[in-house]
Chain A
Amino acid sequence: MGASGASIEIKDLRVWFGAREVIKGVSLSIPRNVVFTIMGPSGSGKSTILRAINRLLDLYPEARVEGRVIIDGVDVYGDTADPMAVRRMVGMVFQIPNPIPSMSIYDNVALGPRLNRLVKSKKELDDLVRWALEKAYLWDEVKDRLGLPAGKLSGGQQQRLCIARALAMKPKAILMDEPTSNLDPVGTARIESLITELKEILTVVLVTHNTFQASRVSDYVAFIYDGRLIEVGPSSKIFTRPENELTEKYITGRMVA
């Protein structure tokens, strides 16, 4: 496809839920076509950072965002920014596989292109659905039953379906919020190998609390603790020579929350 990923720049991001400050000034620079992992314990604010990138926090009336997010030069929180356009540019995969259960496999993948009128013909849509399912390594398993309700697939298949659904919009980046935390080891392994291949076509921002997963798939790792960025750098460095004591404690499993 040759489609290139987007770079994402986060500058002094602060997020409040009501009066509680959840993200306390985080800056990250995510290069294009890499797997960038945001790692940290539960409740550290990882998912919130992810939802700030594609403005999904807009859905929560109590959330307030400060700072800037720039995706490929587009200021996501700028006055002229259109949250719907931002979300088209950045796909998302969630912790719980969430295809629309009663919709068919095909319709789930076709949902984004249809919503955003990305295709002109049925043929073009068919090709796009096939491309997305192939990219998500699901095509061979479902090609004969595209009309089946998505709810009938296994958990791992549903998660790959969700990846295909995000890919079908041809995004420049994909945000993954603990995509394997509800999957068995087999499903997890398939998603992980998929993640490392996806960076060929787009930028992957992965959130996980699992240090082993982070070390297996990431090019860069940012360690977040209590809404603050503790340390960020190439994966090889973070996992072998962490500079911060907290990071070291976390990756060696000695952190007491």
Chain B
Amino acid sequence: MDTRRLRSSLGMLVFALLFVISIFPVFHLIAVVFINGSSVIASNFPGFFYEERPLPGTEEVGGVGPYILGTLILVSLATVIATPIAIFAAIYATQSLRSRLGFATSTLTRAMIEFPTIIVGLSVYGFLRILDEVLGMIGLQNPIPRFSALSGAIALAIVMIPFIYTQIEDGLRSVPNDLREAIYSLGSSRIKASIIMMRYIKATVITALAIGIGKALGETAPLFFTAFGSDLYPPIDAGMLFRPIGSLTLGIYNMALSGYDNWIRASWGAALILLSISITLFIVSRILSHRRW
């Protein structure tokens, strides 16, 4: 074999090796969570999905039902809060021509991506604390308790907004100029024009939502000072959103650090469920964004 071929094969080998090294952590993570999690879920199926946390230090397997419910409530609520804000901010920034405020919206929202999420939770806590004081002085009660599903959802929404916003702003800016002119030439307002453009970039809108939701699903830090966590099912009533609530991430965090074998096992199960939701979300959004409507 001549040296040129030798160098070529050597190069390919190096690339293959680097590829394996870079991809390994992802597969390792999925494999470890899947192996550890599936055996736990299998040992109490389907009870693991709806039962509450087991008694600590026993052989009981229990379940993570309240955490799943909490995550679903928190993330849906956060999505409902974040989506319209992010979309309108993106419309404002892209369609307010000649406006400094539009530029400021864009720059500041993009900067928010870099905010440590624990700070987001802390600042929501701090803001609600101040609101308590201020409203208290004039004899009113703060409608949003500091430790509640609502405050948790607000914190998650703040984490989500810049991710959704960035995608949609980039999408709106990518709308071809001739299409933009066509829509405006029909006498549409900026809002209506933007809504039509959103139809044009719907794949981007779906991806934006998926990224935002995926981000909120995996967040723990912003919930410490807000949702606070709960290991029991919340009573389903009008006050539900005004009480502390658990989440899969908080459940995993607490149980994994507990030192009780059966809690640590349960946290593996919870991790698998969380990972499955994320992967499903990713796949569904891919399918939706490629479908012609």
Contact = CB atoms under 8 A, between A and B. Distances in A.
Contacts of B199: 100, 102-103
B187 A56 contact: no
B97 A94 contact: no
Most chain A beta carbons < 10 A, residue from B181, B185, B196: B185
Contact of B293 (A51, A92, A94, A102): A102
A100 B97 contact: no
B187 A58 contact: no
B184 A56 contact: yes
A94 B186 contact: no
B7 interface: no
Contact of A87 (B178, B187, B200, B202): B187
A195 to B, nearest CB: 18
Contact of B186 (A60, A61, A96, A169): A169
B186 A85 contact: no
A84 B181 contact: no
Interface string A131-173: 0000000000000000001000000000000100110010000
Contacts of B176: 98
B178 A59 contact: no
Given A59-B97, A95-B178, A100-B179, A84 B196 contact: no
Contacts of B189: 84
A165 B187 CA distance: 12
Nearest to B193: A115
Contacts of B293: 102
User: Chain A interface residue count: which class?
Assistant: 20 to 34
Contacts of B179: 98, 100
A112 B200 contact: no
A85 B187 CA distance: 6
B292 interface: yes
Given A98-B176, A115-B187, 19 more contacts: A54-B185, A56-B185, A59-B180, A59-B181, A60-B97, A84-B188, A87-B184, A87-B185, A87-B187, A92-B185, A94-B181, A94-B182, A98-B178, A100-B183, A100-B199, A100-B200, A112-B187, A116-B188, A166-B185
A94 B200 contact: no
A111 interface: yes
A227 interface: no
Contacts of B286: none
Task: Give 10 nearest A-B pairs by CB, closest first.
Answer: A88-B187, A92-B185, A87-B187, A112-B186, A115-B188, A98-B178, A98-B182, A61-B97, A61-B98, A84-B187
B192 interface: yes
B181 A92 contact: yes
30 contacts: A56-B181, A58-B97, A84-B187, A84-B189, A87-B185, A87-B187, A88-B186, A91-B185, A92-B181, A92-B182, A94-B178, A94-B181, A94-B182, A98-B178, A98-B179, A98-B182, A99-B182, A100-B182, A100-B196, A100-B199, A100-B200, A102-B199, A102-B200, A102-B293, A111-B183, A112-B187, A115-B186, A115-B187, A116-B186, A116-B188
Contacts of B196: 100, 111
Contacts of A58: 97
Contact of B178 (A51, A61, A96, A166): A96
A87 B186 contact: yes
Contacts of B97: 58-61
Interface in B177-228: 178-189, 192, 196, 199-200, 202
Contacts of B188: 84, 115-116
A216 B217 CA distance: 64
A54 B182 CA distance: 12
A100 B182 CA distance: 9
B92 to A, nearest CB: 15
Nearest to B180: A59
Contacts of B192: 115
A103 B197 CA distance: 11
Contacts of A87: 184-187
Most chain A beta carbons < 10 A, residue from B176, B178, B202: B178
A100 B185 CA distance: 13
Contacts of B187: 84-85, 87-88, 112, 115-116, 169
Interface in A49-95: 51, 54, 56, 58-61, 84-85, 87-88, 91-92, 94-95
A61 B176 CA distance: 17
Nearest to B185: A92
A13 B96 CA distance: 25
A162 B178 CA distance: 12
Nearest to A112: B186
A84 to B, nearest CB: 5
Contacts of B181: 51, 56, 59, 92, 94, 98
A47 to B, nearest CB: 10
A95 B181 CA distance: 11
